[in-house]
Amino acid sequence: MDKELENSIANLLSKSDLGEQITVSECENFLNNIPKFTVKHTIDETRAFLSYLGNPDENMNIIHVAGTNGKGSVCKYIQSVLLTASYSVGTFTSPHLVKINERFCVDGKPITDGLFCEIFVETLRRITEYGDTEYFPTYFEYLFFMAMLLYDVYPVDYLVMETGLGGRLDATNAVASPLLCVITEIGYDHMQYLGDTLEKIAGEKAGIIKKNVPVVIFDKRPETTEVLLNKALENEARAVVVKKENIENVKLCSDDMGNKFIAFSYNSLYDKYVDLKLSTEAKYQTENASVAVAALEILRDKGADISELDIRDGILSAKWEGRMEEVRPGVYVDGAHNTDGISAFIESVSDISCEGKKMLLFSMVDDKQYKSIIKEILKCRQFDSINVAVLETARSVSMAELKGAFEDAKDELGIIGLPIKYYSNVRDAVTDIITMRKSGDVVFAAGSLYLVGQIKSII
């Protein structure tokens, strides 16, 4: 084990043994430095350490969720309905927007700083006691093991668990036998890891499908659905397919208080849910909510006491940060960061009425298809002005690359006169766009969940 890593571990454990308070900031600094010392492990290595922890997953009712877009939203809808039905629910999701605690929730609330640090230290202690002195988990693997220890010590009725990246090789796939698997929309993202075709990406996501474990699939594209269904057949897993045509009568509405919502109907295998309501203006959430309903019906088959009223009320009360979220009147943030996500974002922007101008705040990280996404942003011609910011992360697309991509796309599309301003940081971009905004103008932000998090920490 690296000497610097050994010293960091020794300092943290010594501080804990002396009864001194360890802060979330110290834990997070340690986690952020992990990539310097280790690499991703095989799923067998992850399972071996999980076994060392006592296979806590075997005593949990886990709902395992993978996909390219919509994973977090589906997790949120499932959680909300289960809470409405009076079950205790844990969630393990990623990434966080503002605080790392957000990744670990109990009954809809992030765990406290004290509990986070307690579980962090216990995980670190278990790693040091493990027989393999050369083994140390990656950032995400470490968080996964924290989740396993957390929900073992503080058990819940259901644990909704989101994959980090992919599925087949994801640390969460070390779980031996989930209660249910869910695979949301599959599109192009993380292609350097998952493959350069939709079929290859679907094959990686399909890796979470287990023997005789039911799976809910969103039928976005025939080529990906075929891969998922073949994997389900291979594993003798019952597959429930949610199709776009099952979702009907989608309408953007307002109540008497002026609160906006979406009403729609969903035709499931069992029932027709008429006039379901979502507390959002993003029509793409009807797809994620429908996938969640299909999953909840399977849970009901397995004995969960979930009524139709629980589904209606839980779906309506669910709010998922960073997905067409109105953070203040007329200011929307959306974490869309790939081509399908941006297309859905643009469709939502077109649905939102505006008496003045539509203004965009944009940024991206450099492992995304930022050039093609910038082209889509400009091609839609929805925005009257654009503010472009460099994110406060080493992964951000640089100022020069952002300028180059926008200028190339403008030239290719023949766009003249569109005001585009560039900023070295998000804070200046937010301050300027809010200052420039006039009555009737609507501000949108998209391109990265990092951007959403940084905006939410500022506003």
Q: How far apart are CA 91 and CA 102, in angstroms?
A: 9
Are 328 and 107 in contact by the 8 Å Cβ rule? The answer is no
Exposed/middle/buried for 329, CB within 10 Å: 0-12, 13-18, 19+? exposed
The position carrying tokens 């005789």 is 212
Q: Residue 148: is its pLDDT beyond 60? A: yes
Task: Check residue 262 and give its pLDDT.
Answer: 94
For the segment 106-129, what is each residue's pLDDT rounded down to a tens digit? 999 999 999 999 999 999 999 999
Q: Residue 91: is its pLDDT beyond 70? A: yes
Helix (H) or strand (E) holding 268: none
Q: Residue 335: is its pLDDT beyond 70? A: yes
Average pLDDT of the chain is 93
Helix (H) or strand (E) holding 146: helix 139-153
For the segment 34-58, what is each residue's pLDDT rounded down to a tens digit? 999 999 999 999 999 999 999 999 9
Q: How many angstroms separate the Cα of 285 from the Cα of each of 46, 92, 253, 290, 294?
A: 33, 20, 14, 8, 14
Q: Residue 377: is its pLDDT beyond 90? A: yes
Q: Please report, rounded to a whole number, the percentage of residues in the chain having pLDDT higher than 70.
A: 98
Q: Residue 190: is its pLDDT beyond 70? A: no
Q: Residue 340: is its pLDDT beyond 90? A: no
Q: Residue 227: is its pLDDT beyond 80? A: yes
Read off the pLDDT of each residue in 167-178 and give the average, rounded to a whole number: 94
Q: What is the pTM of this model?
A: 0.92
Q: Residue 301: is its pLDDT beyond 80? A: yes
Confidence category of residue 321, pLDDT binned at 50, 70, 90: confident
Q: Classify strands 109-110 and 104-106 as parallel, antiparallel or unpaired.
A: antiparallel
Exposed/middle/buried for 23, CB within 10 Å: 0-12, 13-18, 19+? exposed
Read off the pLDDT of each residue in 350-377 and give the average, rounded to a whole number: 91
Task: Check residue 269 and give its pLDDT.
Answer: 80
Distance in Å from the first CA to the final CA of the chain: 42
Pull the structure tokens for residue 146. 């924290």
Task: Check residue 193 and give its pLDDT.
Answer: 60
The position carrying tokens 């429908």 is 290
Q: Please report, rounded to a whole number, the percentage of residues in the chain having pLDDT higher than 90.
A: 81
One-letter identity of residue 105: C
Q: Which residue has the higher pLDDT, 24 or 196?
A: 24
Q: What interhelical angle do 24-33 and 113-129 show, nearest 10? A: 40
Are 323 and 285 in contact by the 8 Å Cβ rule? The answer is yes
Q: How far apart are CA 280 and CA 316, in angstroms?
A: 9
Domains and CATH numbers, the chain: 3-317 (3.40.1190.10), 325-458 (3.90.190.20)
Q: Which of 125, 142, 123, 119 is nearest to 37 (CA)?
A: 142
Read off the pLDDT of each residue in 246-270 and give the average, rounded to a whole number: 89
